[in-house]
Amino acid sequence: MNVYVRLTYRNLRANLDPISLFFEFIFPIFFIFGQGPALSGSVAPIAIGGGKFISYALFLAAGAVTLTVINSGTNAGTQLWYDRKNGMFEQVLMGPFTRAEYLLSIVFATLLIGIVSSLLVFGLALPVLGGSLSMGLAGIALTGVSLFFGTLFFGGLALALSVALRSSETFQIVSQFAFFIFLFTSTIFFPSNNAPEAIKVISLLNPLTYATDVFRAGLFGSYTSFVSIEMAALAIEAVVMFSVAVVSFRRIRV
Amino acid sequence: MQEEGGPAIKVEGLTRDFGGKKAVDGVSFEVGKSEVFGFLGPNGAGKTTTIKMLTTLLPPTSGSARLLGLDLKTEGRKIRERIGVVQQQDSFDQGLSAETSMEIYGLIWNVPRTERRRRIDELMKQFSMEEFRKKPTIDLSAGQRRRLQVAREFIHDMDLLFLDEPTVGLDPIARRGVLDFLKQKVKGGLTIFFTTHLLDEAEYLCDRIAIINQGRILEVDTPANLKRRFGSAKAVEFRVDARKPLELLSRIEGLDGVTKAAFDDGTAIFRASTARPEKVIPEIYRLADSESLEVSSIYVAEATLEDAFISLVRDGAGGEEGRRDGS
């Protein structure tokens, strides 16, 4: 069996708590079936580009699917953090594996969780998204690219944090705080057009904004030239963040 | 399989600096095939750092080593394919049961499924782990987790095994069980590099022992030779009913050949440390006669590996030759 398959399987079995995964899955469901429909009547239809407007329920349902990238990304940090805490990081590296293989196996496990949970949430959101979907091959590619780079960015961030922070409590609180800032300043819950200027600027640098906007453009066929800029920015940020994670990872002292 | 001829480990001038401080300072030694090589030293002596270098986890600052005929610097992966390591620290998958933990470990080592199952059953029995086979590793006691950690390493094949204090936390019966299992594996051709603070354990298991202190090897020899060469603190222990034991003690200290004397109030036993008990025993009888005392029992306490270890590490008894080159 291929070394990546073996290590990825181990990461999925050994370091991921099914209960936490379940709640990460439940979290977006709440927005799709709870908050979205509840606020839909009081929030005016939202412009998503290309002259298209969608209801708040649709806007939030699409955002909730991209929420999975941030949850999946956190898992990357958790896997590394548990392995270091439990002595398995050294144990694996004293086996017939390289650091690169180990790191990539975490990335593969994270991407796998990201893709599967996004598909599950997307499947559950279908009754809400329903006939509003306007997805061709380009749309499928856009949604896939947004989820891939989004997961890569947040996976890289969580890996870098888990290298830097050795205490469990610090890792949890710092990653939660960082991810809260990303969520709060993204376009998952509301568009940033009417936000205060400072938040608008942060939002325009936020990879979660790009991932969400690109994902929505793919779902609803609202592709514009701005979306292609956002996609490029997302890819660059994801590659940079992943490189930071690799550098931090290489510096782990055993 | 190991390379034909040549030692299992050959280390020359291996050094590791941490910010200018030498944790391991130019150590050299060889370990033969199917040998159990003990690596003993006080806390912070450089034992674990040496193991980390030899298992390719930590690059040496300088020096060289060949393991199983493979170069440490350029053939790390090939080395790792043929070694096993039981770390000093705990290593376990907290989300898994003891059995699944072994199963997954076997899987990442690419052990075929049927073989994994067979070995797990065998190791579960061998290490008396049936009772906690299905228990999550996070809920195991320290001793159970340690047994699992040692047993787990035998799920895959290896030619050379590094054991860094593998019996910490084990009760005497479990400890003896692990040591006997290791002896059996050595008979089958396994080479073991072993560190421990339990010197009786080292004496029981090791063919040769290196004593390391402050990153440098002080001596390498068989346990028997180390005791003979450095366990000079033999003692003559005897009992007399002395009315004034402290006065007698000071006269014992003055006997020719006695380096140190002590008296145990509880047992009323005198202890005279000496390198020449054959000379000191007649002196003790003469002294007792002169005081009109009767020696009710007398015997020579043999030097232990602990005596030799303390003598080497604390008193620096190792020779220059030993310091320069432990091989």
Per-residue pLDDT tens digits for A19-68:
877 887 788 888 888 888 888 778 888 888 778 888 888 899 889 888 88
pLDDT of B318: 55
Can you count the helices (H) and strands (E) in chain A?
Answer: 11, 2
CB A220 within 8 A of CB A133: yes
Cβ pair B96:A6 closer than 8 A? no
Which value does ipTM take for this structure? 0.83
pLDDT of A250: 86
Cβ pair A98:B89 closer than 8 A? no
Q: A interface mutation test: which of B108, B148, B159 has the most A CBs within 10 A?
A: B108
- Taking CA–CA distances from B156, the nearest residue in chain A reads A95
CATH architecture of the region B234-302 = 2-Layer Sandwich (3.30)
Report the predicted TM-score, pTM, of the whole model to 2 decimal places: 0.82
Q: Report which of residues B3 and B202 the model is more confident about.
A: B202
Q: Give me the tens of pLDDT residue by residue for chain A, a chain 254 residues long.
A: 799 999 999 999 887 778 877 887 788 888 888 888 888 778 888 888 778 888 888 899 889 888 888 888 888 888 888 899 899 999 999 999 999 999 999 999 999 988 888 888 888 888 888 777 777 888 899 999 999 999 999 999 999 998 888 787 888 899 889 988 999 899 998 888 778 888 888 888 999 999 999 999 998 888 888 889 999 999 999 999 999 999 998 888 77
Give the one of B81, B91, B110 whose C-beta lies nearest to A91's C-beta.
B91
pLDDT of B23: 94
Residue B25 Cα, gap to closest chain A Cα (Å): 19
Cβ pair B100:A13 closer than 8 A? yes
Q: How confident is the model at residue B321 (pLDDT cuts 50, 70, 90)?
A: very low
Give the one of A13, A90, A98 whose C-beta lies nearest to B104's C-beta.
A13
Cβ pair B108:A10 closer than 8 A? yes
Instruction: Report the alpha-carbon distance of residue B40 to residue B98 in Å, rounded.
Output: 30
The closest alpha carbon to A30, from A125, A172, A115, A110, belongs to A125
Cβ pair B85:A86 closer than 8 A? no
**Contact list, A12 vs chain B (CB under 8 Å):** none
CB A50 within 8 A of CB A221: yes
Domain coordinates of chain B in residue numbers?
Answer: 9-228, 234-302
Identify which of A48-62, A196-210, B96-110, B313-327 has the greatest average pLDDT: B96-110
CATH architecture of the region B9-228 = 3-Layer(aba) Sandwich (3.40)
Alpha-carbon distances of A94 from A43, B38, B71, B87, rounded to whole Å: 57, 20, 16, 10
Residue A242 Cα, gap to closest chain B Cα (Å): 23
Cβ pair A14:B104 closer than 8 A? yes
